[in-house]
């Protein structure tokens, strides 16, 4: 079974994402912030990481998290996709080494599911 790490998501968004993950047969764990996310990645295996664009009041949370992952030799090969519908944020995430992510509006449309399946090799 594939395992996904959600970082910086609120409860309602975690629920929405988890419903899509359940549909594709994946489990998830959550982390509230950068420190918790890196700690989980260093202590467990994940097939995909989905950071939110914003961690609390940090507008660059997700992009900064992706940069930290890609600068860490042990984490750089884990697929990561930014959850954001903002084009500029997606461009920054891709430039930092992420795969093309998706906005929350795509969760019920099927396109987010398709992108996650490709990222995890399902």
Each residue's pLDDT tens digit, 15-34: 999 999 999 999 999 999 99
CA atoms within 13 A on the CB side of 38: 16
Q: In angstroms, rounded to a whole number, what is the distance separating the alpha carbons of residues 116 and 83?
A: 11
Q: Is the pLDDT of residue 57 over 80?
A: no
Domains of the chain, CATH where assigned? 2-120 (3.40.50.2300)
pLDDT band at 55 (very low <50, low <70, confident <90, very high): confident
pLDDT by residue (tens digit) across 81-118?
Answer: 999 999 999 999 999 999 999 999 999 999 999 999 99
CA atoms within 13 A on the CB side of 10: 7
Name the E strands within the chain.
2-7, 26-31, 48-51, 81-83, 99-102
Q: Is the pLDDT of residue 56 over 90?
A: no
Average confidence (pLDDT) over 48-58: 88
Q: What is the pTM of this model?
A: 0.96
**What local confidence, expressed as pLDDT, does residue 10 receive?**
92
At what angle are helices 61-71 and 87-95 packed, to 10 degrees?
A: 10
At what angle are helices 34-43 and 61-71 packed, to 10 degrees?
A: 30
């Amino acid at each position: 079974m594939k395992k996904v790490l959600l970082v910086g998501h609120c409860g309602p968004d975690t629920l929405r994402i988890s419903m899509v993950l359940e549909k594709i047969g994946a489990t998830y764990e959550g982390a509230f912030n950068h420190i918790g996310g890196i700690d989980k990645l260093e202590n467990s295996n994940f097939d995909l990481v989905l950071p939110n664009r914003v961690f609390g009041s940090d507008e660059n949370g997700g992009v900064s998290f992706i940069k930290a992952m890609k600068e860490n030799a042990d984490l750089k090969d884990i697929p990561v996709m930014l959850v954001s519908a903002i084009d500029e944020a997606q461009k920054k995430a891709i430039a930092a080494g992420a795969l093309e992510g998706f906005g929350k509006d795509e969760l019920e449309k099927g396109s987010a599911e398709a992108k996650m399946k490709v990222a995890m090799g399902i």
